[in-house]
Structure 1
Amino acid sequence: MSGPIRRSVLSDDVHESLRSMILEHQLAPEERVNIDALARSLDVSPTPVREALARLESEGLVRKRPLAGYTVAPLLTRAEFNDMFDMRLVLETAAARWAASRSPAAVRESLSAEASISYVVSSSHAAFTAADARFHDLVAEAADNPLLRDAISRLHAHLHIHRLYFPYAETGSTRREHELVAVAIGAGDASSAEEAMREHLSAARARHLAVFD
């Protein structure tokens, strides 16, 4: 039993390492991925690197072409960025509304705790991205609609957006906006929760649009 567990942990570690390298542009957009070189640099065999790349492909961070191997995905265009936020505004405002009206009190309280503590990690790009994504996923989970949560998850919005531009100076704004969402959900106020999520996503959109200007 110990062998498969160790292999799973190793694969997860390699996946996290490669994802961080892509988010922080140590692997540049559209760069060809050299599996053997990455395996040597991470001191692992090529197998967990290939497994990690398959997962990264499903997240949209790398692309695989026949006979050419993997390349890092290009950055979002302005049109793709706006399409992604249009989808988030449709899906995640609904998730916030339903989280406020459907989830039990204990779940709503856990969202408040998550909104307050998750940004201790803001000094790390990858850790902030993971914490940001976790809060939004918890809201989606609290909405009690698995199809909605799956649709939100499949966007992998935080990975793509933070790879495009990481708002080091705005992590405090993100935290405050998350706290407002959490307070409204905690109060069971569906309309306020929906509006707080809309305001958060609109502000996040404006923060990140600066990269295109």
Structure 2
Amino acid sequence: MRFLFLVLFGLGGCAVLVALGLWQLDRMAWKRGVIADIEARLEAAPTALPEAPDPEADRLRAVTVEGAVGEGRLRVFGTWRGGGAGHRVVVPLETPAEAGGRRILVDLGVSPEGTEPIPARLLVTGNLDWPAESGGAIPDPDGDLWFGRDVPAMAAALGTEPVMVVARTVSPAGIPVRPAPVGTAGIPDNHLGYAVQWFGLALVWAGMTAFLGWRMTRPTA
């Protein structure tokens, strides 16, 4: 009876651990599909700004916009891996009448203070995004410092459409803001390592079960 219980306990434990490893492999395949889809959107040939961008259908759509930098800017404080602390600079961009006469938000990228001068006209290639970040305005003398990007709230503050282009390249070159484009570097893909751990634990479990079974068959003194 004890030997039967050991076999069932060993097989059950191995089955659970192997199932967890297989689940991690499934998660890995799903995650890599998501990353591939995002990268395909990011690397697609840029198009003109859609007339009515949809936050779901047009998320990460590559676009090119050109226009005059409007009055006002918002600074979003944050920290970046390898880049220390700084501010994202978000400005209103007004496209010419022949391009629809739009007024939208453009996230130009990161600078230490976020107060450096910006040229009056810009050509921006980037991706549409509606970041889901917590935060908001905080009291300061200028009222321009934020802790997170909130597209509807920022649009209301600067009088623009609730549309944001996160820059990948900006012309003219040399403006004192470093683009911080949308990417996949922040999406963790550790599932293969987790799967190896679960399969390793299954082997250890099986080995311990076999060892205990061997000990049970040994004659006692």
Which structure shows the higher strand fraction?
2
**Structure with greater helix share of residues:** 1
Question: TM-score higher than 0.5 here?
Answer: no
TM-score by length of 1: 0.23
Rg bigger for which structure?
2
TM-score (norm 2): 0.22
